[in-house]
Copies of this chain bind each other. A is one copy, B any other.
Amino acid sequence: MSRKSEARRQVDKQLSFALYGAANRIMRMHRRFLEPLGLTFPQYLVMLELLETSPGSVGKIGVKLGIDTGTIVPLLKRMEQSGLISKKRDLLDERRVLVELTPAGQALQASVWAVADQVKSACQIRDRQADALRKELDGLARPVNPDGQVDTSS
């Protein structure tokens, strides 16, 4: 194995471990605050999103979470069954499905926002540092187009 491919392997290895590890730790850090609300971590993210922009399109929420249709659909279905959200067709575009918070979902607003506060306090991270990190993560693991440009369309 050449030195170059050895180095390439190391980069993928270390970054994959760091990213997977950090995502798991942040999910675990939220868990004890989310369990009393009956929410999983991805459901919490959907709640945060809809508390800001409701109704929201199913496709857009999936892209924001970095998950595909096969994963977002059952996730939203469970939230619908819990009575937190309801689905409706977009009147402007019949193919688009929108989701919005039900009154029961809206009622969780203060509790959901309190979770974000609690986690931020439990985590040692400064706002500016978090912002720089977020920007870098947003650009990560996006496929490169044949012309060498990063694909940010999805």
Contact = CB atoms under 8 A, between A and B. Distances in A.
Contacts of A21: 64-66, 137-138
A26 to B, nearest CB: 4
A136 to B, nearest CB: 6
A109 to B, nearest CB: 10
Contact of A24 (B25, B65, B131, B134): B65
Contacts of A26: 15-16, 19-20, 140-141
Interface residues of A, number: 63
Interface of A: 1, 5, 7-9, 11-30, 41-42, 44-45, 48-49, 64-68, 113, 115-117, 119-125, 127, 129-131, 133-134, 136-138, 140-144, 148, 150
Nearest to A113: B9
A46 to B, nearest CB: 10
The 9 A-B pairs with the shortest beta carbon distances in the complex, nearest first, are A21-B66, A24-B66, A23-B23, A12-B116, A25-B141, A18-B137, A9-B116, A26-B141, A18-B134
